[in-house]
């Protein structure tokens, strides 16, 4: 069994209003060296399959169909083997 | 001509749309529950505003997989008229029936107020009764109405007349101040290439009676009806 740890972020070309607000808040706290904050989503999905390649393919399919919107979002993921 | 208002769990402008079509426009209308698998017998489908499936994950992301949606997609592909309002617009983009995506307003605030829309294309079934450049007063009520589309797609859409409404000021100028949510090019409504599917964030069904402060929204519904009668 695998646990997919999926990170979803708005594309770099898409303005992230939440990230911008937090960026300004950090600046007002005096963190002058912070130049960019991006806020996204973190998803954990466990998949019952012994095969790593199958799990990977399924995560990509699920991300394309539902978990992300490719028009505005990018994602990355890692697979961690877990006890069934 | 028969209208259908699709009701998703979490829709909350379904009654308003139904009321406007039946009592103000005077056309036959029925609700279509999201679990239906057919839209046979309908001529125009309305996907109403609200928070379908709680807007979990992304607005419209889960509603787009409702049992009724394959029939809606097929209906649209065959040229049927589809009007998505607010959450309905979000569902149509998620379903791939309209280009682009809608996400958080740049202000991060829920905006509920009147807006002025400039008609950019009056060669659609939804706007044919309106002179180009006409200004309409129609309210918005959304937190995630920021329309995004990549620059290349936007250029294609503009060339094909797919931008139907833009937020404008009282003089009809497209200014940053008139933009309530950060949408690219002040876009408030777009259609597909075939122009039979329209998505818009403002609520025309809330602007159909003088009692509500504006009757401009009714013009869109009248246009649909006139288009239909002209086709027969």
A69–chain B Cβ distance below 8 A for any pair = yes
A55 CB neighbour count, 10 Å cutoff: 22
pLDDT, mean of residues A14-23: 95
pLDDT, mean of residues B29-42: 98
What is the rounded CA–CA span in Å between residue B41 and residue B228? Answer: 14
Establish whether this prediction's ipTM goes over 0.95.
no
- A vs B, Cβ pairs < 8 A, gives 35
Q: How confident is the model at residue A73 (pLDDT cuts 50, 70, 90)?
A: very high
Q: pLDDT of B138-184, one tens digit each?
A: 999 999 999 999 999 999 999 999 999 999 999 999 999 999 999 99
Report whether B120 contacts B171 (CB < 8 A): no
Is the pLDDT at B43 greater than 90, yes or no?
yes
B214 CB neighbour count, 10 Å cutoff: 17
Catalytic residue, chosen from B59, B86, B144, B191, is B86
Candidates A10, A12, A14, A17, partner chain B, best to mutate (most B CBs within 10 A): A17
Using a pLDDT cut of 70, give the percent of chain B over it.
100
B112 annotated active-site: no
The answer to whether the Cβ–Cβ distance between B104 and A14 falls below 8 Å is no
- Among the partner-chain residues A14, A18, A69, the one whose CB lies closest to the CB of B108 is A18
Q: pLDDT of B70-123, one tens digit each?
A: 999 999 999 999 999 999 999 999 999 999 999 999 999 999 999 999 999 999
What is the rounded CA–CA span in Å between residue B71 and residue B64? Answer: 11
CB burial class (10 A; 0-12, 13-18, 19+) of residue B24?
middle
CA distance A71 to chain B (A): 6
B107–chain A Cβ distance below 8 A for any pair = yes
pLDDT at residue A63, as a whole number: 98
pLDDT at residue B129, as a whole number: 84
Q: How confident is the model at residue A60 (pLDDT cuts 50, 70, 90)?
A: very high
The answer to whether the Cβ–Cβ distance between A13 and B150 falls below 8 Å is yes
pLDDT at residue B28, as a whole number: 98
CATH number for the domain spanning B62: value is 3.40.50.880
What is the residue range of B29's domain?
3-231
Is the pLDDT at A84 greater than 80, yes or no?
no
Q: pLDDT of A28-43, one tens digit each?
A: 999 999 999 999 999 9
Is the pLDDT at A54 greater than 80, yes or no?
yes
Q: How many domains does chain B have?
A: 1
What is the rounded CA–CA span in Å between residue B213 and residue B22? Answer: 19
Q: How confident is the model at residue B132 (pLDDT cuts 50, 70, 90)?
A: confident
Q: Which helix H or strand E contains B216, and what residues bound it?
A: helix B216-231
If you classify domain A2-14+40-81 with CATH, what class do you get? alpha beta
Q: pLDDT of B50-79, one tens digit each?
A: 999 999 999 999 999 999 999 999 999 999
Write down the mean pLDDT value for chain B: 97
pLDDT at residue B24, as a whole number: 98
Q: Provide the residue ranges of all domains of chain A, joining segments of one domain with +.
A: 2-14+40-81
Return the residue of A nearest to B143 by Cα. A17
B171 CB neighbour count, 10 Å cutoff: 9
For residue B128, which of B1, B231, B27, B226 has the smallest C-alpha distance? B226
């Amino acid at each position: 069994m695998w646990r997919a740890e999926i990170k979803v972020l708005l594309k770099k070309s898409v303005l992230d209003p939440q990230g911008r607000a937090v960026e300004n808040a950090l600046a007002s706290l005096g963190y002058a060296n912070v130049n960019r904050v991006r806020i996204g989503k973190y998803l954990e999905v466990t998949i019952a399959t012994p095969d790593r390649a199958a799990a990977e393919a399924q995560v990509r399919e699920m991300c394309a169909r539902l978990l992300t919107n490719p028009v505005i979002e990018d994602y990355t993921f890692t697979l961690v083997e877990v006890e069934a | 001509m028969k209208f259908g208002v699709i009701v998703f769990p979490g829709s909350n402008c379904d009654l308003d749309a139904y009321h406007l079509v039946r009592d103000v426009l005077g056309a036959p209308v029925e609700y279509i529950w999201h679990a239906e698998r057919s839209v046979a017998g309908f001529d125009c489908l309305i996907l109403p505003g609200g928070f379908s499936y709680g807007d979990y994950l992304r607005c419209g992301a889960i509603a787009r997989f409702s049992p009724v949606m394959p029939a809606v997609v097929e209906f649209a592909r065959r040229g049927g008229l589809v009007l998505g309002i607010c959450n309905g617009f979000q569902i149509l983009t998620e379903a791939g029936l309209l280009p682009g995506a809608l996400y958080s307003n740049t202000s991060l605030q829920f905006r509920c107020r009147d807006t002025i829309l400039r008609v950019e294309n009056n060669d659609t079934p939804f706007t044919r009764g309106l002179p180009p450049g006409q200004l309409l007063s129609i309210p918005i009520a959304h937190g995630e109405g920021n329309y995004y589309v990549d620059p290349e797609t936007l250029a294609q859409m503009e060339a094909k007349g797919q931008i139907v409404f833009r937020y404008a000021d009282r003089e009809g100028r497209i200014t940053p101040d008139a933009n309530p949510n950060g949408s690219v090019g002040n876009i408030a409504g777009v259609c597909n290439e075939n122009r039979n599917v329209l998505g818009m964030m403002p609520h025309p069904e809330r602007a159909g009676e003088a009692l509500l402060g504006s009757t401009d929204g009714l013009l869109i519904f009248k246009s649909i009806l006139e288009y239909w009668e002209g086709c027969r």
